[in-house]
Amino acid sequence: MSLLTVGSVAFDAIETPFGKTDKIIGGAATYISLAASFFEKNQRIVAVVGDDFPQAMIDTLSSRGVDLAGLQIKQGEKSFFWSGKYHNDMNTRDTLITELNVLEHFDPIIPAEYQRTEYLMLGNLSPQVQKLVVERLTERPKLIAMDTMNFWMDIALEDLKQTLSMIDLLIINDEEARQLSGESSLVKASKVIRAMGPKYLIIKKGEHGALLFHEEQIFAAPALPLEEVFDPTGAGDTFAGGFMGYIASTNDISFENMKRAIIAGSALASFCVEKFGTEKLTNISQSDMENRIQQFVSLANFEMTYQAD
Ligand code: AMP
């Protein structure tokens, strides 16, 4: 099958209690495509960078089966730049700098050959741009998934609600789910959010795993207990990429298969946090990934027979 990812391809500068980076490669679509490439070999991307973006990363994406006809390179302009600093708990962070640069006037042009795309992942971007992509696809994909963040809830809530009414699956974290719904209980929040449009909702809870909601069903996946989390940047995007890559490669959108896709996404996210930026994701093998999926299977596996006397 095919997976189209739309999102930022960017530079990041990250500060954690363990260290600090200069400008390194980041961006939601970068993490999503890298993660999805462990499963889906037929990928496309719609994104924009400036002429400062390194060819080496473009080559890496291409060598992993990502078609780059939809990547616009704007001569004389700068790539999106984001900088963040993590608190000691490594779960919360402050955004220090957001320089939109090429993203400010991003027109997501869909190459004609991308029109028949079965799976669409709308990475974190302005909800107007996400909506435009859905409208520009003449044939509706089998599953449209989307990520967003509190930044867009603060400045573009009405646009965000319109986009939400057009998609199937929203993937956000617990803090975002609470802000979007106004509910502190995640179960109540899931009902409010699903009433806005998406039939499926995944709420990521960082080191506490993730929840999948659909109709009356709930699935809870663990996160791998790690001794050290080095840099959580991109873990959410990596999770989404692993999830959608698995769904696209198996071409199965049943609730049962979504459970497996969540484990695939969680396994890749657990690698992402072990090094700064995309470093770990670009250095693990297919069998590293498969072994980690097995670790997840063992982690959550138990038998129980209980009978009251
Ligand atoms: P995550 O840690 O999964 O939330 O994603 C971090 C990535 O999102 C970084 O690599 C940033 O480049 C990118 N990012 C941060 N803010 C934005 C934004 N407002 N729009 C698009 N991408 C962003």
What are the CB-based long-range contacts (under 8 Å, 24+) for 148-152?
A: 148/124, 148/172, 148/176, 149/124, 149/176, 150/175, 150/176, 150/179, 151/95, 151/98, 152/124, 152/126, 152/127
Protein residue whose Cα sits closest to atom 6 of ligand 1: 234
In a domain, 88, yes or no: no
Domain of residue 168, residue span: 3-8+31-75+108-300
Task: Find out whether 266 and 242 touch, Cβ atoms under 8 Å.
Answer: yes
30-43 average pLDDT score:
98
Element (H, E) at 141: none
Residues with CB under 6 A from ligand 1: 8, 10, 12, 26-28, 82, 98, 124-125, 151, 233-237
| Residues whose CB falls within 8 Å of the CB of residue 167, separated by 6 or more in sequence, listed in order | 122, 134, 144, 145, 146, 197, 198
In a domain, 305, yes or no: no
In a domain, 90, yes or no: no
Beta bridge pairs of residue 114: none
Q: What is the pLDDT of residue 253?
A: 98
Give residue 91's pLDDT band: very low, low, confident or very high (50, 70, 90): confident
Q: What is the pLDDT of residue 92?
A: 85
Q: What's the CATH code of the domain at 254?
A: 3.40.1190.20
Quote the mean pLDDT of the chain. 96
Q: Could you tell me the CA-to-CA distances from 68 to 59, 64, 211, 265 in Å, in that order?
A: 10, 11, 33, 23
- Structural domain count, the chain: 1
Q: Which residue has the tokens 């995640």?
A: 186
For the chain, how many residues are written?
Answer: 309
Query: Which residue of 82, 92, 266 sits with most ligand 1 atoms within 8 Å of its CB, as the best mutation to test the pocket?
Result: 82
Per-residue pLDDT tens digits for 52-88? 999 999 999 999 999 999 999 999 999 999 999 999 9
Determine the angle formed by the axes of helices 235-250 and 255-272, rounding to 10 degrees. Answer: 140
In a domain, 19, yes or no: no
In a domain, 224, yes or no: yes
Per-residue pLDDT tens digits for 186-226? 999 999 999 999 999 999 998 899 999 999 999 999 999 99
For the record, the structure tokens of 33 come out as 């495509």
Protein residue whose Cα sits closest to atom 16 of ligand 1: 82
In a domain, 182, yes or no: yes
In a domain, 48, yes or no: yes
In a domain, 308, yes or no: no
For the record, the structure tokens of 112 come out as 């004609």
| Residues whose CB falls within 8 Å of the CB of residue 15, separated by 6 or more in sequence, listed in order | 21, 83, 84, 85, 86, 96
